[in-house]
Amino acid sequence: MHADDCLFCKIVLGAEPSNRVLETNQFLIIKNKFPKAPVHVLVLDKQHRRKSDTISGAYQGENYWESMFDAINKALVKLGLDKTGYELVSNGAGYNHFEHEHFHIMGGYKDGIGPRT
């Protein structure tokens, strides 16, 4: 299931360019086009799932969050952020620019200290 007007769906389908970092069965990890940190990637659900649906628990029977955090962990290890530090961000309820479920992984700061700490 994809939404025709969703940028993230277009990226998943290859209709929009992206710099792919890692891919699992359910998630695609890409470099953020407008990074807010030295390392800034997005973890995109390959299906168009609205944040409000994932937060409400609509996908509990599919081990949704376990799969999401497994993909996040694989990205952390591949990028070396598991050893140097990272921030994991999920914007929602008006803070998100895209309703399509996704997480931000940010890191690569000198001495592992980012702007929020």
Q: Which residues pair with 105 in a beta bridge?
A: 41, 88
| CB-count exposure of residue 73 (10 Å: 0-12, 13-18, 19+) | exposed
Catalytic residue list: 102
